[in-house]
Structure 1
Amino acid sequence: MAALNVVKTPFQTLFAVPMTCDHCVSTISEALYRLGGISKVDANLKDQLVAVEGTAAPSAIVSAIEATGRDAILRGSGASNSAAVCILETYHRNEKGGEALVPASDPEAATGGSGASDREVRGLARMVQVSPTTTLVDLTLRGVAPGLYSASIREYGDLKFGATSTGPVWAGGSGTGQPRGILGTIQIGEDGRGAVFLDHPFQVWEVIGHAMVVSRQAEGIAGAGLTNDENTVVGVIARSAGMWDNDKTVCSCTGKTLWEERKDEVRKGMI
């Protein structure tokens, strides 16, 4: 599932990777240099960190590290306040009653009788701003039906009713007939997986708190009549750590290590 790479501006990313010896360091470094678009790899055995510079998608870097038999967690991208993330989930009506919808990650989705067994995390979008006019978007999906999907940023961050309450495509004060929230398309293969890596003319701070929707529904881009189905995924764009902003190894809320948290998220469907 290699991401289509149309990005030309290099940037830095930092990953936590379990390494036990110098052989681990060399194996990971060699795997990453074989990946197109990598200009520098700095693997630190003591701190269990791998810093990467280049134009390769973070999702492609994670896949390359995982192919060596090791896990990888993205710890930061770009400069402070220049990165964002959006977890994309399916939304369906809560069969226990009430009007609000429940996402896959909500504790209620795991309760008996909630009708939430088909709610899953099915996508992830990572963003990093590399200039005052350019933000890179690394979008991956899995577990959805094959076909061509459209990705868009919406006017609102209201997920009370899933995709239907996110509003029209974000105009972004463009002053033209083309909303700035139209990101592009992603092709999903027969295996239910797809990825795309592209750049877009907005700054990260402009889209924080907005929803992102990825859907096969043509009306999703036209701005009318989105519905919730098993192949429409939605999430709210939130800030994420810059290159050296995140040194957490244990969660202060749960007491779990970052690797224990990683296992929990993978069980929920996290990419």
Structure 2
Amino acid sequence: MSIKVQLAVDMTCQSCVDDVTQVLTKVPGVDNVSITLADKQVVVTGSAGPSSIVNALKSSGRSAVVRGAGSTASGNIGAAVCIFEEGRALSNSATRGLARFVQVSEQTCFVDVSLSGIPDGLHGLAIHECGDLSSVPESCGAHWNPEGTEHGSREQGHRGDLGNIEVKDGWGEVAFETDRFKVWEIIGRSMVVGMGADDLGKGKEAGSRVDGGSGPGILAGVVARSAGLFENDKLVCACSGNTLWTEQRLVDQGRRL
């Protein structure tokens, strides 16, 4: 399934456009890049997740912010974002994370997750019942499991089971499609990152059938509705007066959430 990702990229001239085009065409899964310099807008089409696109631009020294995402076939069916901002176990670490959800058809949701600043290795991911971050992870409730099934993989098990993300050298990224939930079903719930690997319900311990034995949640965020394609055209933050790229740099430096 192909998606479109709309970004605001700090560009000032044709040389910037050429550089951005060169960087993005090397990203696996990118099929087409369309750039409008006057609006500082970049639209990328393909199977690449928004996190891999933004990471490629940042690695090249460019400031980029995702404005929206949607289906190439069905337009704006639904989109959501989860910013991981609470975590007891790593409260003193420079942790960051973001999950994006794009409904690319009536049946299929595209999920894109990126994390940094947590220990290398596999970490379980799951949608939890509640959007309460007052005492992570207990306040988030159990895995979202409306059918009352046993824990498993993202293909079978709880509808909130999202498998694992692998972190290497402080950075982790995973993107996949699922037909097990729609964007509008998870808005208002939380997403939690586990301390360790999720055994996908195949372990011998009793907890394997409940949460995969991935340990306490170390990061969590609330799933909230986000802009679809071309639904957000601002370049300046209304709250601070900073450009979007300045705001993003402050976030990257750990100065703002």
Normalised by the length of structure 2, the TM-score is 0.83
How far apart are the structure 2 equivalents of 1:269 and 1:81? 34
Please report how far the alpha carbon of residue 24 of structure 1 lies from its aligned counterpart in structure 2 after TM superposition.
Answer: 1.5
Matched, 1:254 2:240: yes
Give the distance between the partners of 1:25 and 1:270, measured in 2 at CA. 29
The number of residue pairs the alignment matches comes to: 237
Deviations 1:233-258 (A, max 9, x none): 11111111111011122222332322
- Mapped to 1, the partners of 2:247 and 2:163 lie a distance apart of 32
One of 47, 50, 53 as aligned partner of 1:55: 47
Displacement after TM superposition at 1:120 (Å): 4.3
**Aligned CA distance change for structure 1 residues 188 and 68 (closer, same or farther; 3 Å):** closer
Q: Is the 8 A contact 1:14 1:74 kept in 2?
A: yes
Find the aligned partners of 2:223 and 2:149 in 1 and give their Cα distance. 24
TM-fit CA distance, 1:220: 8.7
TM-score (norm 1): 0.79
CA contact (8 A) 2:235 2:244 kept: yes
- Give the structure 2 partner of residue 19 of structure 1: 11
- Residue 176 of structure 1 and its aligned partner are, at CA, apart by 4.5
Contact 1:150–1:221 (Cα < 8 Å) also in 2: no
- Residue number among 153, 159, 163 corresponding to 2:127 in the alignment: 153
Given the superposition, is the C-alpha separation of residues 200 and 55 from structure 1 closer, same or farther in structure 2, using an over 3 Å criterion?
same
Write out aligned runs for 1:46-195 (5 A): 46-78=38-70, 79-80=75-76, 82-92=78-88, 118=92, 120-171=94-145, 173-174=146-147, 176-177=149-150, 178-189=157-168, 191-195=169-173
| Unaligned 5+ runs, structure 1 | 1-8, 94-103, 105-115
SS in 2 for 1:263: helix
Identity level (%): 41
Q: How far apart are 1:122 and its partner, in Å? A: 2.2
Question: How big is the alpha-carbon RMSD for the aligned residues of Structure 1 and Structure 2?
Answer: 2.6
Q: Structure 1 residues 224 and 145 mapped into 2: Cα distance closer, same or farther (>3 Å)?
A: closer
Distance 1:226 1:59, change over 3 A: closer
Match of 1:111 in 2: none
Moved more, 204-213 or 250-259: 250-259
The Cα shift of 1:30 comes to 2.2
CA contact (8 A) 1:250 1:258 kept: yes
